[in-house]
Structure 1
Amino acid sequence: MVEPLAGEITVYFYAILFARYPDVRRLFPQGMDIQRDRLLRALLRVVELVDDPESLVRFCGQLGREHRKFGTLPAHFPAVGECLLDTLARHAGPAWTPETAAAWTKAYGIVAQVMINAAEQDAAVRPAVWPATVVHRVPRGHGIAEITVRPHGSYPYAAGQYVSIETPWWPRRWRYYSVANAPREDGTLTFHVRAVAGGSVSGALVHRASVGDVVRLGPPMGDMVLDAAEHSQLLFVAGGTGLAPIRALIEEVARRGGHHQVELFLGARTAAELYGVDEMLRMAQRHHWLTIRGAVSHERIPGIRGALPEVLVEYGPWYEHDAFLSGPAQMIASARETLTFHGTSPRHIHHDPFETPVLSVP
């Protein structure tokens, strides 16, 4: 009933929340457009999962842990619940019956309690955020910069995972980036960041960040890790800066002694955009188990021509491989469909969520 009024609903919700509870405003960024979209998608996800308690609890638990970095406290949940229910009642009209109100009140109470419990359990074992100093910055062309940071304290993670980052120039705006390296002895993490049009955080990291600046990291997330693989043969597919987690996974294979056979496909529109290929070729020279192929889709040059999904068909089949996909959402979706059609089991295809990770878990 209320989904068609999504924009109006989220604007009204935050308006009455900040009017009734002005102290809550400090938890949110100045620009609220992305936040409003996330609220709506979170609500829709709760409704989608209402008959799947296991997945609902998993989703709400992740949401609760993720909210720690915003400074969310248990005392904030009643205020949000009150304003949320009043917003739904206002926009649902006659459909907001006493039975519907009771159902939503109960549902919100359960969601809030699961989030609170998950946050409290998480707080017992790790910080909400990690300050990290920029120790190295290298421009890579085409609006890409390689940013290396050193967290202030131990930061355990697995190769292939991604991290949310907040910059000092845009407080409370968090964006997600994959770590481009396996865990190092010195504890540093490297990110490959592309400045996107209108991207305040990516633009700041690429064009403004310098050695000595301090950013903040959220906890590591994601299941696209080497331990998820069941086969010894691995297929890695990377487009653009999607190479970052794939590079970390290749380093992890090397750290473990190279007991996998790895086929890596790099894709781009033009040869100039074939990001990171020189470094990957040097890695292939050092590791006999790594084979690399680059594919260009919009330029006629010697070598492989075509979009990555098409190239995968040419060099397949891949049904005896675990596939790890990283890059633009359209490329991942197309490659996943192609691999599945040609016999690769969906449970052997691994990739990060397409959008805000905590709102896009399976």
Structure 2
Amino acid sequence: MDAQRLKDNFAHVAEQGDAVALFFYSDLFVRNPHLRDMFPVGMTGQRDKLLRALGRIVSQADDLPTLVPFLQQLGRDHRRFGIIAEHYPSVGASLIATLRHFSGSTWTDEIAEDWNAAYTLVAKVMLEAADEDALSRPAWWNGQVIGVERRRFDIAVLRVQPDRPLPYLAGQSVAVEVPARLRQWRYYSMANAPRPDHTVDFHVRLVDGGPVSSVLVRTMKTGDHLRMGAPIGVLTLDESSGRDMLLVAGSTGLAPLKAILEQVARRPIPPRVHLYFGARNRDGLYDLEDLTKLAHEHAWLTVVPAVSDESAGHGFSTLLQSGDGDVEYGNLPDVVARHGPWSAHDAYVCGPAEMVGRTVERLESLGVERARIRLETFADAQR
């Protein structure tokens, strides 16, 4: 298998954009009509995911230590959709047909052999990971909503009772599917550390055009059901570290960091923890009351809320008198930077991609080693 030849061919094919994924799925469903029900009704998002996954696989074709873990997770993820070994040859046939079609005159027997070898490897790794995963856990957990709090028009906090214990680490996420949006899975982080009763909390923000978030925020009620996939994610607590901690959360990026905070609280001697919670305006600090209560209960915890779009005039004075403690004004990375130094801390950052990126840059400029910064963005969570 010639990795560079694969990359060159895929670069040529990818120039056709969305037409590539459209052709692939059309070919797949014409050849295998029974597979159509395994996919969502609206395929736009699915086509985007296909191209992103193919692009990543091809770009790492000559870097197996990096590629294999990604393929293993893909294999485990595909269990939620009912994908089994018998489906892989059909997908492979449609993939080769698509690549041949868009390659035109550049298609050769050598390129065909490269793609067949690559797909054989991809399928093998994914299937082995799926089979191993099936030995220890189900493809999904059924959950019942036992509590709903609508904190504002676009943010809801849900408490869910799984039908069986859901083992996870504080900071991890699960894919969620609701009956009204079958086969449209979206990732949400648990907002609590594991509990004896196995319940989990989700902080859900309404995303413009988001098919799952719209249901969870606007229509979900106590007694409703949903499904949850297996936990994933590396935004987890480094239990081996004895350093103080910096947590930086933008909007509902607070969820995994609040779970980590709960985990820290269970230590016999917790480290000093500074939690910065940011939003555009005061109303966006949807969990500030609970965070303030936690800070009052734990002397090792400092909570600093921040807003970026409020004026520093009369509106800001009103914020300072809100009863929830001082609220800082400014973009979250700037607020965090002016409260340093943080070079002796472990940092955990989650939220909108731009905020996370800027925060990481500022922390590195302030002497925090990149290896001690764990992060996740909303885009990362949806992969």
Scaled by the length of structure 2, what TM-score is found? 0.91
- Residue deviations 1:266-318, cap 9 Å, x none? 11111222221111111011111101111121112144211011112211121
* 2:180 equivalent to 1:169: yes
2-side partners of 1:357 and 1:89: how far apart? 33
1:7 aligns with 2:18: yes
Give the length in aligned residue pairs. 359
Where does residue 294 of structure 1 map in the other structure? 305
SS in 2 for 1:169: helix
1:338 to 362, 367, 377: 362
Query: Could you list the per-position Cα deviations for residues 151-205 of structure 1 after superposition, in whole angstroms to 9, with x for gaps in the alignment?
Result: 0011101111111100011111100111011111111001011122211111111
Matched, 1:311 2:335: yes
Whole-angstrom distance in 1 between the partners of 2:209 and 2:269: 41
Q: Distance in 1 between matches of 2:306 and 2:209?
A: 29
Which residue, out of 192, 199, 222, partners 2:203? 192
What CA deviation, in whole Å up to 9, does each residue of 1:229-280 have, x standing for no partner? 6342100001111111111111111122342110111111112222211111
Structure-2 separation of matches of 1:131 and 1:58: 27
Alignment-derived partner of residue 321 in structure 2: none
Q: Structure 2 vs 1, CA of residues 231 and 335 (structure 1 numbering), >3 Å: closer, same or farther?
A: farther
Match in the other structure for 1:111: 122
SS at match of 1:43: helix
- 2:371 corresponds to 1:347: yes
Which one-letter code corresponds to 2:221 in the other structure? S
Q: What is the percentage of aligned positions where both structures have the same residue?
A: 44
1:151-300 aligned at under 5 Å gives the runs 151-227=162-238, 230-299=241-310, 300=312
Classify 1:100/1:159 alpha carbon distance in 2 versus 1 (closer, same or farther; 3 Å): same
**3-state SS of 2:123 partner:** helix
CA contact (8 A) 1:229 1:322 kept: no
Aligned-pair CA distance for 1:352: 2.1
| Deviations 1:49-83 (CA, angstroms, capped at 9, x unpaired) | 11111111111000000000010001100000000
Query: In 2, distance between residues paired with 1:16 and 1:148?
Result: 42
Do the aligned residues in 2 keep the contact of 1:162 with 1:178 (CA within 8 Å)? yes
Name the SS for the 1:257 alignment partner. coil
Pick closer, same or farther for the CA change 1:31–1:38 going to 2, 3 Å: same
Secondary structure at the counterpart of residue 191 of structure 1: strand
Pair 1:43 & 2:67 matched: no
Cα distance in 2 for partners of 1:100, 1:358 equals: 32
Quote the residue 2:31 is aligned against. Answer: 20
Instruction: Check conservation: 2:249, 2:276, Cα contact below 8 A.
Output: yes
Deviation, 1:353, is 5.0
State the distance in 1 between where 2:43 and 2:59 align.
Answer: 24
Name the counterpart of 1:29. Answer: 40
Q: Which moved more, 1:337-346 or 1:53-62?
A: 337-346
Change in CA separation of 1:231 and 1:343 when aligned onto 2, cut-off 3 Å: farther
Q: Aligned with 2:85: secondary structure? A: coil
Contact 2:147 2:158 in 1 (8 A): yes
Task: Tell me the CA shift for residue 358 of structure 1.
Answer: 7.5
Please state how far the C-alpha of 1:357 moved relative to its aligned partner: 4.2
> 1:235·1:262 contact (CA, 8 Å) conserved in 2?
yes
Structure 1 residue 13: deviation in Å? Answer: 0.3
Range with greater deviation from structure 2 (228-237 or 96-105): 228-237
In structure 1, what is the Cα distance between the partners aligned to 2:269 and 2:41? 47
Compared with structure 1, are the counterparts of its residues 353 and 113 closer, same or farther at alpha carbon in structure 2 (3 Å cutoff)?
farther
- In the alignment, the residues of structure 2 paired with residue 266 and residue 335 of structure 1 have an alpha-carbon distance, to the nearest angstrom, of 13
Q: How far is 1:142 from its partner?
A: 3.5
Partner amino acid, structure 2, of 1:146: V
Give ranges in structure 2 of 5+ residues lacking alignment. 1-11, 318-326
Provide the rounded CA distance (Å) in 2 between the counterparts of 1:273 and 1:138. 15
TM-score, normalized by length of structure 1? 0.96
| Alpha-carbon distance, 1:228 to partner | 6.3
Q: What residue is the counterpart of 1:133 in the other structure?
A: 144
CA contact (8 A) 1:295 1:308 kept: yes
Distance 2:125 2:63 in 1: 15
**Structure 1 residue aligned with 2:322:** none
Distance 1:332 1:228, change over 3 A: farther
Gaps spanning 5+ residues in structure 1: where? none
* Preserved contact between residue 152 and residue 286 of structure 2 (Cα < 8 Å): no
Counterpart of 1:69 in structure 2 is 80
Structure-2 separation of matches of 1:141 and 1:168: 24
Distance 2:240 2:346 in 1: 6
Equivalent position of 2:350 in the other structure: 326
Closer, same or farther in 2 for the Cα pair 1:107/1:318, shift >3 Å? same
Contact 1:230–1:348, Cα closer than 8 Å, also in 2: no
